[in-house]
Amino acid sequence: MSVSRHLVHPDVEALAEAAALAVAGHLTERIAAAGSATLSLTGGSLGVKTAAALAGGDIDWDCVTIYLGDERFVPADDPERNDGQLDAVLLGEIADRATVHRWPARGPEFDDVDAAAEAFLASVELPTGDEPLFDVTLLGMGPEGHIDSIFPHTPAVEESERLAVGVRDCPKPPPERLTFTLPAVRRSRHVLVVAAGDGKAQAVANGLGGADPADWPVAGAVGTESTTYHLDGPAASMLG
């Protein structure tokens, strides 16, 4: 049975450290049980801060496979790409140990976002059926409840079968992105959502309150074993 809970931390630094410690614990537990573990990382300011805290964790990265929950469909050297930001704080330090699967970049090989999404899915060996895709999924969240590049009332949030899709006309720039979908996120053993600031309070309340994911995508991010929101006080201000 999946367990949902929230933890409130005194500031964003403590939040990021606590979330990183939880991620490390889940990964270590899975490596001990199965010999390997999979992790889906997020970008964004708090996601990057949590990834930076992970860099100091006691994790056997040789046994970890890393995915990114979404990516901006821009050239590989564009500073907007999530993987570049994560390279700077974590991936660059462990690239020779962990297996990292990156999303395609816009360029000579790919200029169509949908084709890039299909090529990505064809290039990775994801478990079939109902088997978990990720042991841990780390998610940031927008004030409207978006996670990865799954925004309210868009084709991506309505997707019920495909594990990854191309995103066009994204409400936030850049307009084209690549993202795992809710069916993929829900095949995570442990989901951790990190959120800070009173601008996220409504989304937090609706996510934990079981709102319609079409309206608040974060509400659809539920792990098969656990779902934990790591929050600061303002982000938790609308919770009972």
Each residue's pLDDT tens digit, 214-228: 999 999 999 999 999
Residue range 169-173: mean pLDDT, rounded:
94
Contacts (Cβ under 8 Å, ≥6 apart) of 86 = 41, 43, 48, 51, 68
Beta bridge partners of 101: 67
pLDDT value at 240 more than 80: no
User: Which is nearest to 132 in space by CA: 34, 24, 21?
Assistant: 34
pLDDT value at 3 more than 90: no
Report how far residue 211's alpha carbon sits from residue 205's, in angstroms, rounded to the nearest whole number: 9
**Residue 177: Cβ within 10 Å count:** 26
pLDDT value at 69 more than 80: yes
Give the chain's mean pLDDT. 97
Report how far residue 127's alpha carbon sits from residue 132's, in angstroms, rounded to the nearest whole number: 7
Looking at the structure, give the CATH architecture of the domain made up of residues 3-232.
Answer: 3-Layer(aba) Sandwich (3.40)
Provide the pLDDT for residue 1: 64
Which residue ranges make up each domain of the chain? 3-232
Provide the pLDDT for residue 87: 96
pLDDT in tens, 23-49: 999 999 999 999 999 999 999 999 999
- DSSP letter string, 42-97: --HHHHHHHHHHHTTS---GGGEEEEESEEE-S-TT-TT-HHHHHIIIIIHHHTTT
Measured at the CA of 221, the angle between CA 173 and CA 147, to 5 degrees, comes to 10
Residue range 73-86: mean pLDDT, rounded:
96
Percent of the chain with pLDDT over 70: 100
What is the distance of C-alpha 237 from the center of its chain?
A: 23
**Residue 122: Cβ within 10 Å count:** 8
User: Which is nearest to 41 in space by CA: 14, 20, 58?
Assistant: 20
Provide the pLDDT for residue 95: 84
Cβ-contact 113, 177 below 8 angstroms: yes
pLDDT in tens, 131-148: 999 999 999 999 999 999
Cβ-contact 138, 41 below 8 angstroms: yes
